[in-house]
Amino acid sequence: MKTKQYHIAVIIVNWNGKDDTVRCVESLQKINLMGNTLSIIVVDNGSTNDSVAVIKKSFPEISIIETGKNSGFTGGNNIGIQKAIEIRADLIWLLNNDTLVDRQVLSFASVFDD
Protein backbone atom coordinates (compact mmCIF):
# COMPACT_ATOMS: atom_id res chain seq x y z
CA MET A 1 0.00 0.00 0.00
CA LYS A 2 1.40 3.36 -1.04
CA THR A 3 1.11 6.18 1.46
CA LYS A 4 0.05 9.69 0.52
CA GLN A 5 2.72 12.28 -0.14
CA TYR A 6 2.39 15.67 1.47
CA HIS A 7 3.88 19.14 1.35
CA ILE A 8 4.63 19.76 5.03
CA ALA A 9 5.31 23.25 6.36
CA VAL A 10 7.31 23.35 9.58
CA ILE A 11 7.00 26.54 11.58
CA ILE A 12 9.64 27.48 14.13
CA VAL A 13 9.34 30.66 16.19
CA ASN A 14 12.67 32.21 17.17
CA TRP A 15 13.53 34.97 19.60
CA ASN A 16 17.25 35.36 20.29
CA GLY A 17 17.57 31.57 20.11
CA LYS A 18 19.89 31.14 17.15
CA ASP A 19 21.79 28.14 18.56
CA ASP A 20 18.63 26.19 19.37
CA THR A 21 17.02 27.15 16.07
CA VAL A 22 20.08 26.08 14.06
CA ARG A 23 20.12 22.68 15.82
CA CYS A 24 16.38 22.28 15.23
CA VAL A 25 16.68 23.02 11.50
CA GLU A 26 19.70 20.70 11.23
CA SER A 27 17.64 17.88 12.74
CA LEU A 28 14.80 18.59 10.29
CA GLN A 29 17.21 18.37 7.36
CA LYS A 30 18.12 14.81 8.40
CA ILE A 31 14.53 13.50 8.29
CA ASN A 32 13.66 10.58 6.05
CA LEU A 33 11.04 12.44 4.00
CA MET A 34 9.44 9.26 2.62
CA GLY A 35 8.53 11.08 -0.61
CA ASN A 36 7.09 14.12 1.18
CA THR A 37 8.38 17.65 0.75
CA LEU A 38 9.30 19.90 3.63
CA SER A 39 9.20 23.70 3.77
CA ILE A 40 10.83 25.21 6.83
CA ILE A 41 9.54 28.59 7.95
CA VAL A 42 11.34 30.43 10.75
CA VAL A 43 9.43 33.35 12.23
CA ASP A 44 11.84 35.67 13.99
CA ASN A 45 10.06 37.56 16.74
CA GLY A 46 12.22 40.68 16.78
CA SER A 47 15.49 39.12 17.95
CA THR A 48 17.96 41.66 19.30
CA ASN A 49 21.02 39.51 18.61
CA ASP A 50 22.40 38.16 15.34
CA SER A 51 19.88 35.30 15.10
CA VAL A 52 18.50 36.30 11.70
CA ALA A 53 21.94 36.72 10.12
CA VAL A 54 23.19 33.38 11.49
CA ILE A 55 20.07 31.47 10.42
CA LYS A 56 20.07 33.05 6.94
CA LYS A 57 23.75 32.25 6.45
CA SER A 58 23.36 28.67 7.74
CA PHE A 59 20.19 27.90 5.76
CA PRO A 60 19.73 30.18 2.74
CA GLU A 61 17.06 27.81 1.37
CA ILE A 62 14.53 28.25 4.18
CA SER A 63 11.95 31.01 4.62
CA ILE A 64 12.62 33.54 7.34
CA ILE A 65 9.94 36.01 8.30
CA GLU A 66 11.12 38.95 10.40
CA THR A 67 8.28 40.41 12.46
CA GLY A 68 10.31 43.31 13.84
CA LYS A 69 8.65 42.83 17.22
CA ASN A 70 7.96 40.07 19.70
CA SER A 71 4.49 38.76 18.87
CA GLY A 72 4.77 35.91 21.37
CA PHE A 73 4.74 32.23 20.56
CA THR A 74 1.12 32.20 19.42
CA GLY A 75 1.45 35.37 17.35
CA GLY A 76 4.60 34.07 15.70
CA ASN A 77 2.93 30.78 14.89
CA ASN A 78 -0.07 32.58 13.40
CA ILE A 79 2.26 34.51 11.09
CA GLY A 80 3.94 31.25 10.08
CA ILE A 81 0.60 29.54 9.52
CA GLN A 82 -0.41 32.35 7.13
CA LYS A 83 2.78 31.71 5.13
CA ALA A 84 2.10 27.95 5.14
CA ILE A 85 -1.38 28.58 3.74
CA GLU A 86 0.09 30.89 1.06
CA ILE A 87 2.51 28.17 -0.08
CA ARG A 88 -0.35 25.66 -0.10
CA ALA A 89 1.08 23.27 2.46
CA ASP A 90 -0.99 20.13 3.05
CA LEU A 91 0.11 19.80 6.66
CA ILE A 92 1.41 22.34 9.17
CA TRP A 93 3.80 21.29 11.92
CA LEU A 94 4.54 23.69 14.79
CA LEU A 95 7.84 23.18 16.61
CA ASN A 96 9.53 24.92 19.49
CA ASN A 97 12.96 26.05 18.40
CA ASP A 98 14.66 23.81 20.98
CA THR A 99 13.14 20.65 19.48
CA LEU A 100 15.35 17.98 17.95
CA VAL A 101 13.36 15.59 15.77
CA ASP A 102 14.08 11.93 15.17
CA ARG A 103 15.16 11.05 11.64
CA GLN A 104 12.23 8.62 11.36
CA VAL A 105 9.55 10.97 12.71
CA LEU A 106 7.48 10.82 9.51
CA SER A 107 7.39 7.03 9.53
CA PHE A 108 6.02 7.20 13.08
CA ALA A 109 3.42 9.77 12.03
CA SER A 110 2.39 7.80 8.95
CA VAL A 111 0.46 5.31 11.10
CA PHE A 112 -2.15 8.06 11.52
CA ASP A 113 -2.48 8.63 7.76
CA ASP A 114 -6.10 7.76 7.02
Asked if residue 87 belongs to a domain, the reply is yes
- In a domain, residue 81? The reply is yes
Q: What is the pLDDT of residue 111?
A: 57
pLDDT at 1: 45
Alpha carbon separation from 52 to 38, 41, 48, 67 (Å, rounded): 20, 12, 9, 11
Q: Is residue 18 part of a domain?
A: yes
Q: How far is CA 104 from CA 32, 68, 77, 114, in A?
A: 6, 35, 24, 19
Q: How many domains does the chain fold into?
A: 1
Q: Is residue 1 part of a domain?
A: no
Question: What is the span of the domain harbouring residue 89?
Answer: 7-112
* Selection from 97, 86, 84, 91 nearest residue 110 by Cα: 91
* 3 state DSSP class of 81: helix
- Residue 2 in any domain: the answer is no
Q: What is the pLDDT of residue 114?
A: 59
Task: Give the residues of the chain that fall short of pLDDT 70.
Answer: 1-3, 109-114
CATH number at residue 14: 3.90.550.10
